[in-house]
């Protein structure tokens, strides 16, 4: 196979996906608010045509077999690596996340890493019964056309989580990126499509209503949705029509509990990045932290010190590791929640206000102490660079409060004695509980939510199952 092409640079790659002058919709750089380019706004007819093309391409893609698809997924990963810097720059400008830190370059790297893992993961047939009378196996086939709908916070990586396993199992994919970050995903698709056969992977950019049409389309057999709980509910309703199978990765309000006597300094960095990764705009970020009275002040002070020192600014500046809030709507939510917390006893230890000197959508990394449950900043998902720290004195009470939320995506327990943390871990009502860290993901370790954070699992073998159609093959046993 030939070497993947390195597309010249950021502008060349961007030119391949933007709408012609005068068409489409302007997309702004999240940090500078300058126009990056125009993105196509596609119609319902164009969506229907995309699904029809994906449907027509699916049998041929499935017929290629696992080995050929593995080869093509690996070639797609190589193509991403070869174009990593251009992709990271588009992502950084459109989403706002800095190039460095656990941000844009990291995200592009995760895309190729996940594709390689999808290629390497094998979903074996399962022999369920094998006796004298019966041999029954469960095998996994392609579902058909997968409709993927992705959010704006990790637009490339989350799209890959949807695309990679789907393609691996022989499905074709029509993906609608968030209208806040379509260029990033269209650029990624353009790079991947350098190596894939036509119509196996199609991007359709447009507003939420196009996502609604995709989810309800009669020829879509499976919907992979990542986004808010509110839109997730609409997807469930739309699946009443086409009976599409659903994977719903929805919102979270992840709690962390720091147990009594924990060494604050030892955990402070990991706590900080658990909460502030991607400037807090991460589904499974730490969003409310319960800290035992015995170490409360030390933890608050250590977090505040890191927050004050961590460089924030435009993403293309190599020094920054925190960026803006991606869009004005989310910025207003973050600002409103902090203002509300201030009027409900919240003590701003650091930050607590916008940083207009950096740009319109920058909000300072903020630690709010002395808030408690019942205050909106604790009860609701802030999805921004703000962490409320709640004091507790009774461990059982802390877990009860952590579990009181109607969502349950990630969670964490922190202690200088990891075994003690492990003993408490499963008390958390969440899809994942991390010990002495928060938010770390691995392509082989299943990830998914509970309660209103959704259902279905991604990654690893479980992830392949979720984009496959199980079929039972039942025949005579050994004596037959
Ligand atoms: P969102 O629900 O507003 O949008 C997600 C996607 O759905 C976008 O592509 C949007 O255009 C589309 N959409 C909007 N209306 C639709 C409709 N009626 N039918 C179909 N599609 C529609 O979410 P967002 O603001 O992009 O992302 C932030 C939210 O996503 C947060 O709540 C966050 O916690 C959650 N999230 C969850 C995970 C996870 O893995 N569980 C990961 C990332 C983000």
Confidence of residue 2 (pLDDT cuts 50, 70, 90): low
What percentage of the chain exceeds 70 in pLDDT? Answer: 98
Q: Which two tokens stand for residue 247?
A: 């994977």
Residue 57 alpha carbon to ligand 1 centre in Å: 27
CA proximity to 413, closest of 436, 441, 390, 440: 436
Q: Count the neighbouring beta carbons within 10 Å of the beta carbon of residue 71.
A: 14
211: Cβ below 6 Å to ligand 1?
yes
Q: Which two tokens stand for residue 313?
A: 């600014």
Mean pLDDT (the chain) is 97
Check whether 1 has a pLDDT greater than 50: no
Contact status, residue 221 vs residue 143, Cβ threshold 8 Å: yes
3 state DSSP class of 314: coil
Contact status, residue 435 vs residue 280, Cβ threshold 8 Å: no
Predicted TM-score (pTM) of this structure: 0.96
Confidence of residue 309 (pLDDT cuts 50, 70, 90): very high
Residues in a beta bridge with 130: 135
Active-site residue set: 249, 283
Kindly state the average pLDDT of the residues 289-315: 98
Q: Which atom of ligand 1 lies nearest, measured to the CA of 283?
A: 34
Residue 44 alpha carbon to ligand 1 centre in Å: 20
CA dihedral 262, 266, 271, 274 (to 10 degrees): -130
Domain boundaries, the chain: 43-250+453-471, 254-442
Check whether 186 has a pLDDT greater than 80: yes
Distance CA 346, CA 375 (A): 9
| Ligand 1 atom 12: residue of nearest CA | 208
Instruction: For a ligand 1 pocket test, name from 151, 175, 326, 328 the mutation site with the most ligand atoms within 8 angstroms of its C-beta.
Output: 151
Check whether 160 has a pLDDT greater than 60: yes
CATH annotation of 254-442: 3.40.309.10
3 state DSSP class of 474: strand
- In order, the DSSP letters of 224-274 are EEES-HHHHHHHHHHHHHH--EEEEE----EEEEEPTT--HHHHHHHHHHH
Q: Which atom of ligand 1 lies nearest, measured to the CA of 249?
A: 41
3 state DSSP class of 450: strand
158: Cβ below 6 Å to ligand 1?
yes
Check whether 3 has a pLDDT greater than 70: no
The pLDDT score that the predictor gives to residue 479 is 82
Residue 409 alpha carbon to ligand 1 centre in Å: 15
- Residue range 100-149, pLDDT digits in tens: 999 999 999 999 999 999 999 999 999 999 999 999 999 999 999 999 99
172: Cβ below 6 Å to ligand 1?
no
Fold annotation for 43-250+453-471: Aldehyde Dehydrogenase; Chain A, domain 1 (3.40.605)
Distance CA 149, CA 175 (A): 6
Look at the block and give the residue holding tokens 């015995």. 294
Confidence of residue 478 (pLDDT cuts 50, 70, 90): confident
Residue 244 alpha carbon to ligand 1 centre in Å: 18
- In order, the DSSP letters of 273-304 are HHHHGGGG--TTSEEEEEEEGGGHHHHHHHHH
Residue 209 alpha carbon to ligand 1 centre in Å: 12
| Ligand 1 atom 30: residue of nearest CA | 227
Confidence of residue 57 (pLDDT cuts 50, 70, 90): very high
Phi/psi at 311 (5° precision) = -70, 130
Confidence of residue 8 (pLDDT cuts 50, 70, 90): low
403: Cβ below 6 Å to ligand 1?
no
Kindly state the average pLDDT of the residues 176-204: 98
Helix count and strand count (H, E) for the chain:
16, 20
Check whether 32 has a pLDDT greater than 80: yes
3 state DSSP class of 337: helix
Q: Which atom of ligand 1 lies nearest, measured to the CA of 150?
A: 9
């Amino acid at each position: 196979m030939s070497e993947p092409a390195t597309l010249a640079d950021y502008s060349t790659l961007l030119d391949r996906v933007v709408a012609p002058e005068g068409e489409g919709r302007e997309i702004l750089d999240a940090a500078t608010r300058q126009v990056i380019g125009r993105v196509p706004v596609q119609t319902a007819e164009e969506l229907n045509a995309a699904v029809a093309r994906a449907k027509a391409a699916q049998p041929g893609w499935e017929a290629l077999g696992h080995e050929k698809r593995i080869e093509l997924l690996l070639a797609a990963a190589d193509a991403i690596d070869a174009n990593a810097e251009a992709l990271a720059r588009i992502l950084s400008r459109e989403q706002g996340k800095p190039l460095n830190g656990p941000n844009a370059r990291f995200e592009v790297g995760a895309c190729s890493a996940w594709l390689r893992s999808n290629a390497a993961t094998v979903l074996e047939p399962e022999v369920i019964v094998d006796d004298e009378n019966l041999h029954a196996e469960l095998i996994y086939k392609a579902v058909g056309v997968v409709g993927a709908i992705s959010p704006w916070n990790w637009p490339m990586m989350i799209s890959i989580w949807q695309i990679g396993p789907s393609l691996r199992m022989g499905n074709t994919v029509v993906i609608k990126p968030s209208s806040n970050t379509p260029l990033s995903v269209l650029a990624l698709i353009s790079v991947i499509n350098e190596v894939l056969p036509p119509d196996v992977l199609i991007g359709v950019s447009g507003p939420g209503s196009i996502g609604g049409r995709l989810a309800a389309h009669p020829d879509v057999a499976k919907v992979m949705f990542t986004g808010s709980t509110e839109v997730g509910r609409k997807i469930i309703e739309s699946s009443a029509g086409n009976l599409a199978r659903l994977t719903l990765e929805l919102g979270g309000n992840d709690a962390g509990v720091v147990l009594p006597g924990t060494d604050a300094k030892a955990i402070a960095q990991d706590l900080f990045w658990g909460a502030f990764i991607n400037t807090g705009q991460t589904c499974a970020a730490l969003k409310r932290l319960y800290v035992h009275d015995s170490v409360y002040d030390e933890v608050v002070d250590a977090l505040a010190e890191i927050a004050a020192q961590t460089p924030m600014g435009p993403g293309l500046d190599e020094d920054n590791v925190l960026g803006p809030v991606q869009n004005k709507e989310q910025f207003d939510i973050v600002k409103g929640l902090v203002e509300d917390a201030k009027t409900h006893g919240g003590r701003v230890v650091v930050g607590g206000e916008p940083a207009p000197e950096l740009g319109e959508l920058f909000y300072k990394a903020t630690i709010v102490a002395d808030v408690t449950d019942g205050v909106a900043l604790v009860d609701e998902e802030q999805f921004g660079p703000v962490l409320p720290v709640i004091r507790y004195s009774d461990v059982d009470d802390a877990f009860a409060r952590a579990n009181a939320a109607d969502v349950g995506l990630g969670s964490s327990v922190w202690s200088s004695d990891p075994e003690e943390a492990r003993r408490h871990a499963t008390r958390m009502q969440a899809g994942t509980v991390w010990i002495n860290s928060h938010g770390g993901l691995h392509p082989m370790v299943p990830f998914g939510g509970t309660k209103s954070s959704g259902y279905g699992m991604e990654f690893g073998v479980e992830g392949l199952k979720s984009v496959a159609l199980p079929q039972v093959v039942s025949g005579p046993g050994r004596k037959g």
